[in-house]
């Protein structure tokens, strides 16, 4: 019975993390949830892995509940298959917090070593590993909960979201000492938390990059095309009409249409339509870029691309970090049969290549990324360093009226903070937004509406500390802390095993 109660408590603590992220943004829930997990592990070390694993399954299932909507309601997968597939990703991701808890209990018995050295570092190393193992899934990392309301967001330009994740776990470890440590440990932990979060307040006032050139007007299209009809030939002409009308009614220096806004291969787009929409933009001296599938140069594959329509050469950016099971099929011989039950066109994209150059639109260098790529901060550093503005084009119609849109907006806010640049978001159904270099939302379009969001932005130059070093300092620091904790634990065990006369 005790084991069951511990696991139920861990599940509740994990499920509540949903409210720490957008759209709820109760950022204080994440350190409290992790502190509750750590306290359960402290009192029941024999259940460490199971406790961390159950916490992870509950946390990731509650945060990624929109997977079921995309598989069942949109892709048409039967519920008997969609429900277990919803649990598949959380079941894998939960391994990392489970391992972090298990290793924490085996490194050292002393609370301050466990909860200030081992636990925060192991939690962050788990977050980092899940961001690249098997192509990675960093969505929902602990640090995103601190964007931008939390004082800890001030650390994101320095060490990225991974630094924020470590600081959240460190705060949680300090809270464990406040709850169950010695008098000195409690006092030290309280002072440490106050100093840490106060430093974050101060860091929020710093600017790491500087504006350059004059502000200019941008326009971000939101077509609101339901996924169920997006690729339907019967609605193709209506889709083209919607986006042409949005372009025709807009005056800006730069206009961006969402991911696969024009649901046809670029070379299959009616030439009359291309001439009409590009010509209209050119007459207004407006650079126009759109998301559209594009065949590879050798004609053997196809790309998820953003193409500049108002440049005769049609320069493009092609998505490089593809979504497994969505944009490419891993192990097709093993799981390819599942796709016969789903309506999922273009699930075999080719990669576009790393570190593609920004696109030049109306004299402004804009570094594009597409949808899910926005969750990989370090991969955007190279293009961002060459650009004055970042832009993300997305089609989140796959996730309906779920929290996925708000969570993805929060990812973009983190990228703006990490790079010190404006982030433009052109999406099909939402959240279309303009985000300032400090991560704050300048303006946002109402989701599930057809509109064009316009606003003023400015190019920025310079490199934040995160852009100069990436994730390396945080990851290396966490490895050092784990090794230090292991060393202290080994020394403590040797000391305790020595005979009293030898110790004297």
pLDDT digits (tens, 9 = 90+) for 434-448: 999 999 999 999 999
| Residue 502, domain member (yes or no) | no
Q: Sorting pLDDT into bands at 50, 70 and 90, what band is 71?
A: confident
Looking at the fold, whether 190 and 270 belong to one and the same domain comes out as no
Per the model's pLDDT, the better-predicted residue between 299 and 92 turns out to be: 92
CA-to-CA distance for 360 and 172, rounded, in angstroms?
45
> What is the torsion angle, in degrees rounded to the nearest 10, for the CA atoms of residue 153, residue 145, residue 67 and residue 57?
130
Averaged pLDDT for residues 217-236: 92
136 with 260, same domain?
no
168 neighbors 145 (Cβ within 8 angstroms):
yes
Number of domains in the chain: 2
What DSSP state is assigned to residue 328?
A: B
Q: Give CA–CA dist 117/131, Å, rounded.
A: 22
Task: State whether 154 and 220 are in the same domain.
Answer: no
Same domain, 132 and 260: no
What residues are annotated to the active site?
259, 319, 371
- Both 177 and 218 in one domain: the answer is no
Cβ neighbours for 105, distance < 8 A, ≥ 6 positions apart: 41, 45, 48, 114
Helices (H) and strands (E) in the chain, counts: 19, 12
Domain that holds residue 383: 210-463
Give residue-wise pLDDT tens across range 287-330. 999 999 999 888 888 999 999 999 989 999 999 988 765 665 55
Give the model's pLDDT for residue 135.
84
CA torsion through residues 293, 296, 299, 300, sign: negative
Using the structure block, give the residue that is written with the tokens 């077509």. 223
The pTM (predicted TM-score) of the whole model is 0.93
Same-domain pairing of 262 and 286:
yes
Question: Alpha-carbon distance 137 to 271, whole Å?
Answer: 39
Torsions phi, psi for 438 (to 5 deg): -90, 10
Helix (H) or strand (E) holding 407: helix 404-419
Q: What percent of the chain has pLDDT over 90?
A: 75
Q: Per-residue pLDDT for 79 more than 90? A: no
Residues 347 and 327 sit within 8 Å (Cβ to Cβ): yes
Domain match, 27 and 132 both: yes
CB within 8 A of 225, min separation 6: which ones?
A: 235, 239, 242, 263, 397, 428, 429
Collapsing DSSP to helix, strand or coil, 304 comes out as strand
* Confidence band for 81, pLDDT divided at 50, 70 and 90: confident
Q: Is residue 362 part of a domain?
A: yes
Same domain, 28 and 10: yes
62-76, 167-181, 281-295: which range is least confident on average? 62-76
85 pLDDT more than 70: yes
Please state, in angstroms and rounded to a whole number, the distance separating the CA atoms of residues 450 and 248: 14
Taking alpha carbons only, the member of 383, 372, 401 closest to residue 463 is: 383
Asked if residue 11 is part of any domain, the answer here is: yes
Cβ neighbours of 225 (radius 10 Å): 24
The neighbour count for residue 291, using CB atoms within 10 Å, is 29
Q: From CA 377, how far away is CA 419, in angstroms rounded?
A: 9
pLDDT of residue 276: 94
Residue 46 belongs to some domain of the structure: yes
Task: Give the tens place of pLDDT for each residue, 191-202.
Answer: 999 999 999 999
Among 451, 452, 453, CA closest to 443: 453
Is residue 424 assigned to a domain? yes
**pLDDT band at residue 504 under the 50/70/90 scheme:** very low
Residue pair 37/14 in contact by the 8 Å Cβ criterion: yes
Residue 403 is given by DSSP the state: T
Q: Are 55 and 97 in contact (CB under 8 A)?
A: yes
In a domain, 92, yes or no: yes
User: Same domain for 124 and 263?
Assistant: no
Question: Using only C-alpha atoms, what is the Rg of the chain?
Answer: 24
Kindly tell me if the per-residue pLDDT of 83 is higher than 50.
yes
pLDDT at 321: 83
* Residue whose token pair is 């949903």: 18
Residues 342 and 366 in one domain: yes
The H or E element spanning position 95 is: helix 95-107
Is residue 269 left, alpha or beta, with left meaning phi > 0 and alpha meaning psi from -120 to 50? Answer: beta
pLDDT, tens digit, for every residue of 340-382?
A: 545 556 567 788 888 899 999 999 999 999 998 999 999 999 9
Question: Is 503 contained in some domain?
Answer: no
Between β-strands 433-435 and 389-394, what pairing exists: parallel, antiparallel or unpaired?
unpaired
Q: Residues 169, 62: one domain?
A: yes
Q: What is the DSSP string of 132-171?
A: TGGG---TT-GGGGGSSSSGGGGGHHHHHHHHHHHHHHHH
Evaluate if residue 35 carries a pLDDT over 80.
yes
Beginning with the edge strand found earlier in the chain, give each strand of the sheet holding 422-427 in spatial order: 359-361, 364-370, 389-394, 422-427, 433-435, 441-444
- State yes or no: pLDDT of 75 exceeds 90: no
List the structure tokens of 14: 């994990």
Is the Cβ–Cβ distance between 239 and 449 less than 8 Å? no
State the Cα angle at 453 between 447 and 455, rounded to 5°: 140
> At 421, which CATH number?
3.60.110.10
Q: Which helix (H) or strand (E) holds 460?
A: strand 451-461
Query: Do 132 and 246 lie in a common domain?
Result: no
Is the pLDDT higher at 170 or at 74? 170
Three-state SS for 198-250 is HHHHHHCCCCCCEEEEEEEEEEEEECCCCHHHHCCHHHHHHHHHHHHHHHHCC
* Burial class of residue 300 in the structure, from the number of CB atoms within 10 Å of its CB (0-12 exposed, 13-18 middle, 19+ buried): exposed
CA 363 – CA 469 distance, rounded (Å)? 28
Greater model confidence, 342 or 255? 255
Interval 478-483 mean pLDDT:
97
Strands 389-394 and 364-370, by their bridges, are parallel
Give the contacts of 266 (CB within 8 A, at least 6 positions apart). 292, 293, 294, 295, 305, 307, 314
Q: Is residue 504 one of the residues assigned to a domain?
A: no
């Amino acid at each position: 019975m005790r084991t069951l109660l511990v696991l139920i408590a861990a599940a509740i603590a994990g499920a509540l993390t949903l409210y720490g992220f957008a759209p709820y943004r109760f950022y204080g829930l994440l350190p409290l949830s992790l502190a509750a997990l750590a306290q359960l592990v402290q009192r029941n070390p024999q259940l460490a892995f199971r406790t961390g694993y159950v916490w992870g399954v509950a946390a990731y299932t509650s945060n990624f509940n929109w997977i079921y909507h995309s598989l069942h309601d949109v892709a048409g997968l039967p519920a008997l298959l969609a429900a277990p597939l919803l649990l598949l990703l959380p079941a894998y991701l939960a391994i990392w917090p489970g391992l972090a808890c298990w290793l924490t209990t085996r490194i050292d018995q002393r609370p301050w070593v466990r909860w200030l050295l081992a636990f925060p570092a192991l939690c962050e190393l788990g977050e980092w590993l899940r961001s690249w193992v098997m192509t990675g899934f960093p969505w929902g990392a602990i640090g995103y909960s601190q964007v931008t309301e939390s004082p800890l967001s001030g650390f994101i330009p320095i060490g990225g979201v991974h630094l924020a994740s470590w600081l959240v776990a460190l705060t949680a470890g300090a809270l464990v000492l406040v709850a169950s440590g010695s008098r000195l440990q409690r006092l030290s932990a309280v002072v440490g938390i106050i100093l840490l979060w106060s430093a974050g307040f101060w860091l929020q006032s710093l600017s790491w990059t500087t504006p350059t050139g004059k502000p200019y007007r941008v326009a971000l299209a939101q077509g609101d095309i339901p996924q169920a009809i997006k690729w339907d030939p019967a609605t193709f002409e209506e889709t083209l009409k919607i986006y042409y009308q949005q372009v025709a009614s807009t005056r800006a220096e730069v206009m961006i249409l969402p991911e696969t806004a024009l649901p046809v291969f670029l070379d299959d787009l009616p030439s009359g339509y291309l001439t009409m929409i590009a010509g209209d933009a050119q007459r207004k001296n407006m650079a126009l870029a759109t998301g559209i599938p594009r065949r590879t140069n050798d004609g053997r594959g196809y790309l998820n691309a953003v193409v500049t329509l108002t440049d005769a050469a049609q320069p493009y950016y092609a998505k490089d970090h593809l979504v497994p099971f969505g944009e490419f099929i891993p192990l097709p011989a093993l799981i390819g049969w599942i796709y016969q039950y789903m309506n999922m066109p273009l699930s075999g994209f080719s990669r576009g290549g790393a570190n593609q150059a920004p696109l030049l639109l109306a004299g402004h260098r804009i570094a594009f990324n597409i949808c899910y790529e926005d969750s990989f901060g370090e991969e955007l550093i190279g293009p961002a360093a060459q650009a004055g503005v970042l832009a993300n084009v997305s089609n989140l119609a796959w996730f309906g009226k779920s929290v996925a849109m708000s969570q993805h907006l929060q990812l973009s806010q983190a990228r703006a903070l990490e790079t010190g640049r404006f982030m433009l978001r052109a999406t099909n159904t939402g959240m279309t937004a303009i985000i300032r270099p400090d991560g704050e939302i300048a303006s946002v379009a109402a989701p599930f509406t057809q509109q064009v969001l316009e606003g003023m932005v400015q190019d920025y130059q310079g490199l934040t500390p995160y852009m100069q070093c990436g994730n390396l300092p945080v990851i290396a620091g966490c490895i050092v802390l784990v090794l230090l904790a292991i060393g202290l634990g080994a020394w403590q065990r040797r000391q305790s095993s020595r005979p009293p006369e030898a110790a004297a």
